[in-house]
Structure 1
Amino acid sequence: MYRLRLFAVRHSRGFEWLYRRLERLMIGLDPLFARIGHDRVEAPVALIERGVKSLLFDCRMCGQCVLSSTGMSCPMNCPKQLRNGPCGGVRPGGFCEVKPAMRCVWALAWDGATRMEDGARIREVLPPVDHGLKGSSSWLRVSREKAAALREAREAERTALARAFPAAREIEPATAPLAEEPPRAVSQEVRK
C-alpha cells in the first residue's frame, strides 16, 4: 500500500487528469442519480470509491477528499491527521516524527503538488474535518455540489436579460403597427 501511495504522488499529474474526467462523468450522471435517488446511489459509489482510493492513496474515507489539493497525498494518513501542513517534528529527509519509516504526508504532498497542473491549490487553507461525513462518498457529494452550481449558473444566464430590463417590459407595446407594403412587393395579380 505504501509503495502505491508513493507511486500516486510521483504520478499526481496523471491522477489529476483522471480525476477531472471522473468528475465530469459524475456531474453528467447527476440527473440520473437524482432520478434514482442520491441516497440509493451513495452506497455503491462509496464502495467503488473506497476500493479505488484505499488501494492507490491509502484512503480513510473521510468524506471530504482533498487529494486534488494535496498532490495526491492523503493528509488523513498523517498520524496526527493534520490537514493544513506538516507539524514541527518533520525529521531530516522529510520523514515523520511519529512513524520514522514513513515519509511525512505533507512532504509528499508538496512533492506531488509541484507535478500537478493546479499545484497552487496546496496553499489553500482547508476546512477542518467534518466527522459526520466519514464513510460517505466525496465523489458523489462534490459532483452534486458542482452540478447544482452549474444548474444555477445556467438558470441565471437564461434569466439575466429578463432581470436586467424589467422596466423595458413595462413600457414595451404589446403589438407594433404594421407598415404599408411597398408597391413592388405586392404581386401584379393581387393589385387587380
Structure 2
Amino acid sequence: MYKSTRPTILSALRMVTRLFGRRLDTPITAAERLIKGALFDCQMCGNCVLSKTGMTCPMNCPKSIRNGPCGGVRSNGMCEVKPNMRCVWVDAWHGAANMQDGETIKDIEFAVDHNRVGQSSWLRLARDE
C-alpha cells in the first residue's frame, strides 16, 4: 500500500507547493500529523523512517533508538524499560520483513535532527530537501 500511495502523495504535494509555496505548510503538516499519528503512532520527529522500519515509528522506543534494538528486548518480545510494552524494534523487524524493500531496515540512520521535530517529512521529500 505504501509503495502505491507514495508517488501520488509526493506528486500532489509537489504541485501544491509549486502553486502555493509555503502558505499551506501548516495545514499539510497538521494533516500529516493526524494521518501518520493515527495509522502509525508517528511522533513527527521530522526525520521519518517509517518506510524503512516496517511502518513502525522508532521514536516510540523509550530509549529513542533509531538503529535497531537497544539490547534490552526481553525474551517475550517486550521492552526492557517498559515491561508492559512490546519492543518497538521487534515490531519494526516483523513489519520490514513484510515490505518489498525490507532490507532497508539495516541502513544506519543518523541521529534525529531535533530542529526538524514537528515538521513535515512529506513536504521535505516533495521539495527534495
| Pair 1:40 & 2:20 matched | no
Whether contact under 8 Å (2:10, 2:125) holds in the other structure is no
* 2:11 aligned partner, one-letter code: I
Identity of aligned residues (%): 51
- Specify which of 101, 121, 125 is matched with residue 104 of structure 2: 121
1:42 shift after superposition: 1.2
1:75 alignment counterpart: 58
1:28 shift after superposition: 4.5
1:21 alignment counterpart: 5
CA pair 28-47 structure 1, distance change in 2 beyond 3 A: closer
- 3-state SS, counterpart of residue 122 of structure 1: helix
Whether contact under 8 Å (2:13, 2:123) holds in the other structure is no
- 3-state SS, counterpart of residue 40 of structure 1: coil
Number of aligned positions between the proteins: 129
**Which has the higher Rg, Structure 1 or Structure 2?**
1
- 3-state SS, counterpart of residue 91 of structure 1: coil
* 1:91 aligned partner, one-letter code: R
1:29 shift after superposition: 4.0
For structure 1, the residue ranges without an aligned partner over 5 or more in a row are 1-13, 147-192
Looking at structure 2, the residues matched to 96 and 120 of structure 1 have their Cα atoms a distance apart, in angstroms, of 23
Looking at structure 2, the residues matched to 90 and 29 of structure 1 have their Cα atoms a distance apart, in angstroms, of 39
* 1:25 aligned partner, one-letter code: I
For structure 2, the residue ranges without an aligned partner over 5 or more in a row are none
Q: Deviations over 1:25-84 (max 9, x none)?
A: 3235414412311x2121111110111111111111111110000011100000010000
- Provide the TM-score with structure 1 as the length reference: 0.63
Trace 1:173-192 onto structure 2 (pairs within 5 A): none
Superposition CA RMSD, Å: 1.6
Looking at structure 1, the residues matched to 60 and 107 of structure 2 have their Cα atoms a distance apart, in angstroms, of 19
Query: When you count helix as a share of all residues, which structure comes out higher?
Result: 1
* 1:105 aligned partner, one-letter code: V
Trace 1:56-135 onto structure 2 (pairs within 5 A): 56-135=39-118
1:102 shift after superposition: 1.0
Whether contact under 8 Å (1:64, 1:138) holds in the other structure is yes
- Provide the TM-score with structure 2 as the length reference: 0.91
Higher relative contact order (CA 8 A, sep 6+): 2
Trace 1:128-147 onto structure 2 (pairs within 5 A): 128-145=111-128
